[in-house]
């Protein structure tokens, strides 16, 4: 049975271990996330399957990209900068719990959480592997209306400069990203 809980401060250590395993190492440390959480600027949902942590979908206030891309940031801020919005920070599901609908269930719960916080827009940086596949590409557009979409090959090429190791490519990351802005139905 899968259960869903709001992300709490006590989830930070487990969240960080997921982050380092499935996303990257070097961007966030636990203290950063704990500080954002304490400031009320970090939130999300955790999925638990038969007592075991299965995944997370977390978000933070404002615009936050893994690697700075000033041109894209300017375009997004020109579009939605006068409104309140959040950015997806991490969407991770442990491999043994994939293909079970947990991702969609996390999205539905996050939609409800966003609306309860008075937010109806989010930015997401969707990871695109070197073979151009992207497991999360279609899931966000099901959450609402896509207001902005831009594919950015080589998005993470400067990642080693920021001390970020890619779990797929290592220090020479060839992954790209697709930036989207989604408005969820209120
Ligand atoms: Zn990579």
pLDDT tens digits, residue range 143-153? 999 999 999 99
**Length in residues, the chain:** 186
Is the pLDDT reported for residue 183 higher than 80? Answer: yes
Give me ligand 1 centre to Cα 157, in Å: 8
**pLDDT surpasses 70 at 26:** no
Measured in angstroms, how far is the CA atom of residue 182 from the centroid of ligand 1?
24
Distance 158 CA to ligand 1 centre (A): 11
At 29 the pLDDT is 64
Question: If you measure from the C-alpha of residue 82 to the centroid of ligand 1, how many angstroms do you get, rounded to a whole number?
Answer: 33
Tell me the per-residue pLDDT of 29-85, one tens digit each, with 9 for 90 and over. Answer: 677 888 999 999 999 999 999 999 999 999 999 999 988 999 999 999 999 999 999
pLDDT value at residue 27: 60
pTM of the full predicted structure? Answer: 0.92
More confident residue, 32 or 175: 175
Distances (CA, A) of 167 to 23, 49, 50, 54, 172: 7, 24, 27, 19, 11
Query: Model confidence at 28, in pLDDT bands (50, 70, 90)?
Result: low
Q: Which domain holds residue 89?
A: 2-183
Q: What is the structure's pLDDT at 60?
A: 95
Q: Is 24 helix (H, G, I), strand (E, B) or coil?
A: coil
| pLDDT tens readout for residues 77-131 | 999 999 999 999 999 999 999 989 999 999 999 999 999 999 999 999 999 999 9
Q: At residue 141, does pLDDT exceed 80?
A: yes
Question: Helix count (H) and strand count (E) of the chain?
Answer: 4, 7
Cα–Cα distance between 165 and 168 in angstroms, integer? 9
Counting the structural domains of the chain, the total is: 1
Ligand 1 centroid to Cα of residue 116, in Å, is: 35
Domain CATH code at residue 20: 3.40.630.30
């Amino acid at each position: 049975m899968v259960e869903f809980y709001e992300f709490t401060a006590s989830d930070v250590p487990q969240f960080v271990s997921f982050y380092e395993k499935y996303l990257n190492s070097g961007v966030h440390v636990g203290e950063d996330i704990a500080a954002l959480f304490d400031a009320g600027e970090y939130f999300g949902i955790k999925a638990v399957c038969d007592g075991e942590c299965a995944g997370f979908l977390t978000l933070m206030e404002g615009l936050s990209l893994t690697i700075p891309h000033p041109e894209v940031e300017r375009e997004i801020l020109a579009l939605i900068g006068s409104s309140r919005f959040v950015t997806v920070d991490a969407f991770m599901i442990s491999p043994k719990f994939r293909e079970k609908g947990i991702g969609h269930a996390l999205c539905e719960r996050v939609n409800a959480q966003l609306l309860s916080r008075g937010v109806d827009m989010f930015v997401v940086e969707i990871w695109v592997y070197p073979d151009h596949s992207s497991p999360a590409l279609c899931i966000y557009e099901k959450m609402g209306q896509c207001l902005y979409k831009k594919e950015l090959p080589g998005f993470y090429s400067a990642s080693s400069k920021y001390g970020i190791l890619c779990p797929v490519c290592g220090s020479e990351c060839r992954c790209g990203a697709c930036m989207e802005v989604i408005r969820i139905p209120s």
